[in-house]
Structure 1
Amino acid sequence: MKKLICMAAVSLLIMGSAFGQREVIEDIKTAMKTGSSKELGKLMFQSVDVTLNGNIQTYSRTQAEYVLRDFFKKHLPESFTIIHQGASKGGLHFAIGQYLSKSDTFRVFVRIKGLEGRYLIHEISIDKE
């Protein structure tokens, strides 16, 4: 009976973890499609690595919002599609997407870490294809 309860508890933790990851990826997808740096900011750690066309910087959540807001103003969103998502052996989750603006196409890579039962963006990279 104890084994059954332990197995059920572990299963619930794994399912909850997978659900939380999927939920944040869907929220990222929606924010990217609408060009909402504010919504992306809600999904970030207090400190986040942002790479724009190879230029990497570590920003506070608020600074990252401003940087991404400027990016979205220059490259208004046409669409955003998640191409691939997964997790590393170390448990870091990631998503790779394609961001289309009127004039350019960008590859987007997002690394997500779990903290206290919630998944947040640790790194976002946007590079012109």
Structure 2
Amino acid sequence: MKRTFFLAFTLLWSLLLTATALPQGEAFGPVRSAIRGSNSHDLAQYFAPTVELSFDGDKQSYSATQAEFVMKDFFAKHSPASFDFIHYGGSNEGTPYAVGKYAGKDGAYRMFVKMKQAGGALRIATIDFTKE
């Protein structure tokens, strides 16, 4: 009985360690795909209940639904010619973030995306676009 418990505990612990050791950028894969495709609906699937959006320093907080419409409008006005994340990191508290380069047809933007734990999963808390 002790051996079975020990084996089950070891297996569970190994799975948890493996899950937390995923590369930081892996959490941003679906986000990257949604941005590349200028798909605000797919992007909104990863929004926290409240999202802070910033465009050249003009910051506002939105509900996930409102943020979806704001991003839809942004994509319509500034459709991406190319997009990719160029840096991934995390705060001391473990909050993951990514910095990207968003090249729209009307200019380039530096993009910052920060995620946080919400509802047991990583969700987008902040998106910041700064025109270069």
Equivalent residue number for residue 95 of structure 1: 98
Deviating 4+ runs (over 3 angstroms)? 1-11, 17-24
- Hey, what's the Cα distance between the residues in 2 that align with 1:101 and 1:119? 27
Alignment map for 1:1-129 (pairs within 5 Å)? 9-19=12-22, 22-129=25-132
* Code of the aligned partner of 1:67: V
* Code of the aligned partner of 2:106: S
- Hey, what's the Cα distance between the residues in 2 that align with 1:38 and 1:20? 25
- The answer (yes or no) to whether the contact 1:21–1:119 under 8 Å persists in 2 is no
RMSD (Å) for aligned C-alpha atoms: 2.3
TM-score (norm 2): 0.84
Q: CA deviation at 1:15?
A: 2.8
- The answer (yes or no) to whether the contact 2:115–2:126 under 8 Å persists in 1 is yes
Runs (5+) with no aligned partner, structure 2: none
CA distance change for structure 1 residues 128 and 91 in 2, over 3 Å: closer, same or farther? same
Q: CA deviation at 1:86?
A: 1.5
* Code of the aligned partner of 1:69: K
Aligned length: 129
**Identical amino acids, percent of aligned pairs:** 36
- Hey, what's the Cα distance between the residues in 2 that align with 1:71 and 1:85? 24
